[in-house]
């Protein structure tokens, strides 16, 4: 199946972690012919992803920006457009865990930082990229949410609520722009050993809990970054042009909703 991604330009946020969804998506889309703008707050990590994309024969650019900061996002998009002339694809992937624990024990400043990254970041990047997509009457946007955005999760109320907001935002904006040549969808990955589950030393946190979850997954394995990357790459292709505003679970059957 030809996904028709040759010479498309994709901006992928939060693609600097070498074990994350964004990195896997950048490499997968580059293999399909995309040029990649790699965003991350960690510029060194973004440069490593850029090197991998260039090794595949595609153009790539690393841009440091905090997606929760609208000024930085606007500058990032201006820079990307100056360098590449267009942005065909936006993948709103940047994210991290935050404000965890019982809600009455969490801090308001932690709520704010989590909301800024996980939800406001999606809004900032979408708003910044949409005008040139609307002008060209072409664009693909995929937002990375989470299965917890569909189900909720104890001790993860702020994170889960942000991801639920991303899902609803996806549906709302998709309905606004579908007839203008722009597809917007959402991917909800399951539990994966990305940085979300890792402590400051890089080790896996709470391995007993992870094994307990693994046992409940029909596929009996955690979601790999490549699993999410495959779905994102499909959704940004013209093969998926009739798919609009949908939140896709990629979780081995952990939640079938």
Whether residue 46 is predicted with pLDDT greater than 90 in this model: the reply is: yes
> In the prediction, which pLDDT does 198 show?
55
- What tens digit of pLDDT does each residue of 8-36 get? 999 999 999 988 999 999 999 999 999 99
Whether residue 151 is predicted with pLDDT greater than 80 in this model: the reply is: yes
> In the prediction, which pLDDT does 109 show?
93
**What's the distance, CA 188 to chain centroid?**
9
Q: Please check whether residue 32 is in contact with residue 206, taking contact to mean a CB–CB distance below 8 angstroms.
A: no
More confident residue, 1 or 117: 117
Question: What mean pLDDT do residues 120-127 have?
Answer: 98
Q: Please check whether residue 160 is in contact with residue 175, taking contact to mean a CB–CB distance below 8 angstroms.
A: no
Token pair in block for residue 227: 């699993």
- What tens digit of pLDDT does each residue of 73-82 get? 999 999 999 9
Q: Partners of 187 in the beta sheet? A: 144, 248
Q: What's the half-sphere exposure (Cβ side, CA atoms, 13 Å) at 50?
A: 18
> In the prediction, which pLDDT does 96 show?
85
> In the prediction, which pLDDT does 200 show?
55
**What's the distance, CA 26 to chain centroid?**
11
Q: Is 138 a catalytic residue?
A: no
**What's the distance, CA 89 to chain centroid?**
12
Q: What's the angle, vertex CA 34, arms to CA 97 and CA 61, rounded to 5? A: 65
**What's the distance, CA 40 to chain centroid?**
12
All structural domains of the chain with their residue ranges: 9-247
Interacting residues of 115 by C-beta distance below 8 A, sequence separation 6+: 158, 162
Residues 229, 112: Cα–Cα separation, whole Å: 28
Q: Which of 159, 169, 196, 234 is catalytic?
A: 159
CATH (one of 3.40.50.720, 3.60.15.10, 1.10.579.10, 1.25.40.10) for 9-247: 3.40.50.720
- What tens digit of pLDDT does each residue of 164-211 get? 999 999 999 999 999 999 999 999 999 887 766 555 555 556 667 778
Whether residue 70 is predicted with pLDDT greater than 80 in this model: the reply is: yes
> In the prediction, which pLDDT does 257 show?
73
Token pair in block for residue 37: 């703008």
């Amino acid at each position: 199946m030809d996904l028709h991604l040759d010479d498309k330009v994709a901006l992928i946020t939060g693609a600097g972690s070498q074990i994350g969804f964004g990195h896997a998506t950048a490499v997968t889309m580059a293999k399909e012919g995309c040029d990649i703008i790699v965003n991350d707050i960690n510029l060194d990590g973004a440069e490593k992803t850029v090197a991998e994309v260039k090794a595949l024969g595609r153009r790539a650019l690393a841009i440091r920006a905090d997606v929760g900061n609208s000024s930085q996002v606007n500058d990032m998009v201006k820079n990307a457009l100056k360098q590449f002339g267009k942005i065909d694809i936006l993948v709103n992937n940047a994210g991290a865990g935050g404000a965890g624990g019982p809600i009455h024990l969490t801090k308001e400043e932690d709520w704010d930082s989590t909301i800024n990254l996980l939800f406001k970041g999606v809004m900032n990047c979408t708003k910044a990229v949409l005008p040139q997509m609307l002008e060209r009457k072409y664009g693909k946007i995929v937002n990375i949410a989470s299965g917890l955005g569909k189900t909720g999760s104890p001790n993860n109320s702020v994170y889960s609520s942000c991801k639920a907001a991303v899902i609803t935002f996806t549906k709302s904006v998709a309905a606004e722009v579908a007839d203008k040549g722009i597809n917007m969808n959402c991917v909800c990955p399951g539990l994966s050993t990305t940085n979300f589950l890792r402590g400051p030393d890089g080790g896996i946190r709470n391995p007993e809990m992870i094994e307990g979850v693994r046992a409940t997954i029909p596929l009996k394995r955690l979601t790999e970054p490549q699993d999410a990357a495959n779905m994102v790459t499909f959704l940004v292709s013209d093969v998926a042009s009739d798919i609009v505003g949908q939140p896709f679970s990629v979780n081995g059957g952990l939640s079938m909703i």
